[in-house]
Structure 1
Amino acid sequence: MAATVTAVAAAVVAGVLAPSTTASAGPRPDVVQQRLDALVKQDGVPAALATVKDRDGRTRTYTAGVGDATTKAKVPVDGQIRIGSNTKTFTAVVVLQLVAEGRIGLDADVDTYLPGLVRGDGIDGRSITVRQLLQQTSGLPDYMNPAGVLGDSKRYTEPRELLDAALARKARFAPGARWEYSNTNYLLAGLIVQKVTGRPVGEEITKRVIERIGLRHTSFPLPGDMTIPEAHPKGYLLAADGSLRDYTELDPSWGWAAGAMISTNTDLTRFYEALLGGRLLPAAQLAQMRATVPADTLGTGVGYGLGLISRPLSCGGVAWGHGGAIPGYETSGGTTDDGRSVSISVTAFPGKDDTVQHEEQAVDAVLCR
């Protein structure tokens, strides 16, 4: 970028001082397209997609690569993708809405809503609060079994089965002692939403978030639905030998309230903008959501709030969002308090070891351009 700025500055000076016959400088390279092209070429992902909104409210969508690695079909513009752990932010919003309504206590223990359910080796729901679930400071072990998911991706799994898998493991640490990412926290948050409302968590997310702010291309899959309903690029696993395995159709039940949802980059930017703009939560609950604890395992200076991540930007300030990964797709993004927003997705996960880092670097480059 420094080289680009220098070249542009030199061209401007030449245009002023040189005779009128001097050729003018070409247009400035688009940093978004450059970054997407690099993800395809250098990281080996079949496709990369992005939506960017600038300070003036202008929104643009981008694509690179191919939507189908076999047929070489074009990438659908703003195609749907599985958004993985971005789902956690949607779940956290619903919990905090119920807190605002007086139906859930943020510092009430889990046993208040799920009596006797959470017990195990060093695990006791009477000593874990709802806040600690959303903040990822509960010490609960993760139920996730990546090898099992990749080996049998079309198997339907009940939430209780996932919880049993977690409770069969030892607690990671005492509640509140530190931060550690665990999908089990949001599994329990989803169960609490269902217990309090008497309705499925996907239905509550749809009613309270998706429909409320008009996210037309976002959904929480119904049980048994393994498809992506609208135009989408195929999602793959990138093997060590460079080959691709198609994971476009899978049963996302193992992700459930922690990672099952489908959306587009544009809808994701709208969601985070609406959330940070106060359209989904009262000021008190939004402030609680933005109160972070250090989450340095996610990167230097990164903080984790209540289902919301803050990342420092190289140009100053922070970007808010979450990000998510699920077999076939990985998404990174960020929204700033002054209105800049970007969401970038790639269609290979797991991919190369540093692909996620390259995505996050791309987000920083776009927001700081």
Structure 2
Amino acid sequence: MDGVHSAGIPGVYAEVRDAGLTWRGASGVADVGTGRPVRPDMRHRVGSVTKTFTAAAVMQQVEQGRIRLDAPIGGYLPQLVPGERGRKITVRMLLNHTSGIPDYIPYAFPSIQGFPSLPDVSSKSLDDNRFRQFRPAELIELGLAAPPAGEPGAPTGVYSNTNYLLLGQLLEQVTGTPAEEYITRNVIERAGLRHTGFPAGPRIEGPHSRMYEALWGVIDPPRDYSVYNASWTGTGAALVSTMEDLNRFYARLLDGGIVNRSSLAQMQRTLPVRALDGSTVQYGLGLHRVEIRGCGTFWGHDGSAWGAGTLSLTRADGKRQMSVAVNLQRWNGPDSSGNPQPHPIDGALSALYRQAMCDDGNGRAENASPAKFPGTMVL
């Protein structure tokens, strides 16, 4: 962790669990202006880790017979997804990102549309939307109005936050309860999480770090976006949590404590999905699968909000867990062609992940082959 801080992350903190033992640690600062140290128990915007919570809530409704995975979404939400698209796209396709519906984020934040042609990128949209209250329907409409990302049910999916806003609206439709309330009562509370929730406003309650966004070097020095209205992402990426809570959540989920074994098996049926940074991840229904030779199969999710990054992975046997938070995002500056370049932070984080998941008890991870870990563009 000290290596990650030295490579350029202001603050990094984590909890690692191994066969009943728990380690918590932190390195660096929560505030670069005051030097306030970061702590391992701080609350954090966990971005798309939220998607696992939303997917689990949907699977609970599948178990109760109110939602059918292979039913067309147009049958549930005809006003939001009308016509042929609504007939072709199923609930499962939303969950595993094979709907072909593109992400709304470039259209809600038009000044970042230039990625990866970074000379065209600016922070204007981030600043303009800091206190804006988005409605899910308007964001969904932006995604549906954009050129399709692919055909519904394609063998390779395309990651899209629009899918998970639609799933939030689906939950509200079938339960008669706002999706955030349903997820809180039936997923967060069922898992026994004490520091996890959807923020009521732009500010985070409780101890937390500032969250610095670099926007691929466009914002220099990086700017704090810890105060931000999370309505721009809702049931796709709005949760605030702690690393302890995330490990507890994934332990309960993978042990059958949130959804039943049949639902969990559905969630773990993966296919290749192209992430927002162009990489490919093995994605199920709200879960990533990460294979590390010599260490095993891990399940979880990563997430990125403006200035805040998170990765939470749990080994398939439940005995090894890692949740890591960093308070800087999109640190990879461009080359002369405008393409993001590797940064020492990338290697330092990869080394941390390998040691946290694969060490031999003496802090060594030499038996673990290099792995492609989920990137920081999964918002």
Structure 1: distance between partners of 2:10 and 2:179:
33
Where in structure 2 are the equivalents of 1:179-328 lying within 5 Å? 179-222=157-200, 225-238=201-214, 240=217, 242-295=220-273, 302-328=281-307
What SS class does the counterpart of residue 193 from structure 2 fall into? coil
Distance 1:200 1:296, change over 3 A: closer
* Residue 125 (structure 1) aligned to one of 44, 61, 86: 86
Structure 1: distance between partners of 2:161 and 2:127:
17
1:39 aligns with 2:29: no
Cα distance, 1:295 vs structure 2? 3.2
Structure 2 equivalent of residue 139 of structure 1: 100
Contact 1:333–1:363 (CA under 8 A) maintained in structure 2: no
Q: What amino acid is the match of 1:161?
A: E
Distance 1:112 1:356, change over 3 A: farther
Distance 1:185 1:301, change over 3 A: closer
What SS class does the counterpart of residue 341 from structure 1 fall into? strand
What SS class does the counterpart of residue 204 from structure 2 fall into? coil
Structure 1: distance between partners of 2:43 and 2:302:
15
Distance 1:51 1:64, change over 3 A: same
Q: What amino acid is the match of 1:130?
A: V
Distance 1:360 1:190, change over 3 A: farther
Structure 1: distance between partners of 2:50 and 2:14:
18
Structure 2: distance between partners of 1:256 and 1:87:
9
* Residue 327 (structure 2) aligned to one of 330, 335, 347: 347
What SS class does the counterpart of residue 140 from structure 2 fall into? helix
Contact 1:116–1:125 (CA under 8 A) maintained in structure 2: no
Structure 1 equivalent of residue 36 of structure 2: 73
Structure 1: distance between partners of 2:102 and 2:191:
34
Distance 1:115 1:342, change over 3 A: same
1:175 aligns with 2:152: yes
TM-score by length of 1: 0.84
What SS class does the counterpart of residue 328 from structure 2 fall into? coil
Structure 1 equivalent of residue 16 of structure 2: 52
The CA RMSD over aligned residues, in Å, is 2.0
Structure 2: distance between partners of 1:356 and 1:90:
27
Aligned length: 328
Structure 1: distance between partners of 2:233 and 2:256:
27
Cα distance, 1:361 vs structure 2? 4.6
Query: Which has the higher mean CA deviation after the structures are superposed, 339-348 or 355-364?
Result: 355-364
**Larger radius of gyration, structure 1 or 2?**
1
What SS class does the counterpart of residue 323 from structure 1 fall into? strand
Cα distance, 1:110 vs structure 2? 0.3
What SS class does the counterpart of residue 235 from structure 2 fall into? helix
What SS class does the counterpart of residue 124 from structure 1 fall into? helix
Gaps of 5+ in 1: 1-35
* Residue 161 (structure 1) aligned to one of 138, 162, 183: 138
TM-score by length of 2: 0.82
Cα distance, 1:314 vs structure 2? 3.6
Structure 2: distance between partners of 1:71 and 1:112:
54
Structure 2: distance between partners of 1:277 and 1:299:
32
Q: What's the % identity of the aligned pairs?
A: 41
What SS class does the counterpart of residue 105 from structure 2 fall into? coil
Distance 1:150 1:284, change over 3 A: farther
Cα distance, 1:242 vs structure 2? 4.6
Contact 1:301–1:312 (CA under 8 A) maintained in structure 2: no
Structure 1: distance between partners of 2:192 and 2:129:
34
Distance 1:149 1:198, change over 3 A: farther
Contact 2:54–2:236 (CA under 8 A) maintained in structure 1: yes
Structure 1: distance between partners of 2:348 and 2:284:
24
Gaps of 5+ in 2: 113-124, 333-339, 360-379
Contact 1:79–1:232 (CA under 8 A) maintained in structure 2: yes
Structure 2 equivalent of residue 152 of structure 1: 129
Structure 1: distance between partners of 2:293 and 2:279:
12
